Amino acid sequence: MLVIVASRHDKAAEALVANWAAHGHSVSLLTPEDLSVVGWRHYLSSIDVGDRGESTTSSTSFSSAVVGGVAISTTGCANALDQITGVLTRLPSIFEQELLHIVPDDRAYIATEMNAFLIAWLSSLKCPVLNRPTPTYLLGPAWRPEQWVYAAAQLGIPVRPVRRQSSMSANVCAQVLEKSSVKVTVVGDRCLGEVEKTLASHARRIADAAEVDLLTVHFSSSESPAEFLGADLWTDISAPDVGDAILEYLSGGDAKC
């Protein structure tokens, strides 16, 4: 089973689930609301706690999940979570605005707890996960623009410096963000975008530096020596080639760009 972790308002994720299902793939959407249902069990270590409170040696085979309304329970000695063969994460974190089924006073607390639970659960999965969470961000490293540019510069890639300014004046001009000329989407070893191979290689190296396999990288043009403008862990999955590449990655494909 493939799983897409996303907001219930994420229409692109919903469409991707429908597309993959139409082509015969087992796939489900996992939303923050789904984490509230009965049936979830996850242990941080190999120590299980029995009904009487005693600790015993265990394994992740005792963990269980409820995805798309379906309980993924232990079958014999098999690890229940092995039924999940790939995960695409579309949530940067759990927001309390997603938890309308929780009483208002408890939403912030529950969102924090769900976020910690989801980080631990996704980190424990042995299947391909795009991208694996970090302690502070479900999509991968929560780098600021300066950190992305610094990482690219350290790799010897031409970069466009990030500039910030502040003013005590009442007449502050709003910052105008430059629209990137081109973008390259990295999905595993595949690099999607109409750019020179050198830029595709740059994009993959930046993804390696961030230790992610799903990344959108922006350059000033499609030809070398284009400047690196920035990178984004939030990828447009509505593009058919991107969706196909993600499916191939999660299915164990190893196509090269």
Task: Identify the band that residue 126 occupies on the pLDDT scale cut at 50, 70 and 90.
Answer: confident
DSSP 5-71: E--TT-HHHHHHHHHHHHTT--EEEE-GGGGGSTT-B--SSSEEE-TTS-EEE--GGG-BEEETTEE
Mean pLDDT within 7-23:
95
Higher-pLDDT residue of 207 and 178 is 207
- What's the gap between Cα 192 and its chain centre? 18
pTM of the model: 0.84
CB 239 within 8 A of CB 222: no
The residues spanned by each domain of the chain are 2-44+61-130, 145-165+175-232
* Joined tokens for residue 37: 């249902």
Q: Which fold has domain 145-165+175-232?
A: D-amino Acid Aminotransferase; Chain A, domain 1 (3.30.470)
Q: Are strands 182-187 and 190-192 parallel, antiparallel or unpaired?
A: antiparallel
pLDDT at 7 over 90: yes
CB 168 within 8 A of CB 223: no
Higher-pLDDT residue of 188 and 75 is 188
Q: Is 188 left (phi over 0), alpha (psi -120 to 50) or beta?
A: left
Mean pLDDT within 147-176:
83
pLDDT at 180 over 60: no
CATH of domain 2-44+61-130: 3.40.50
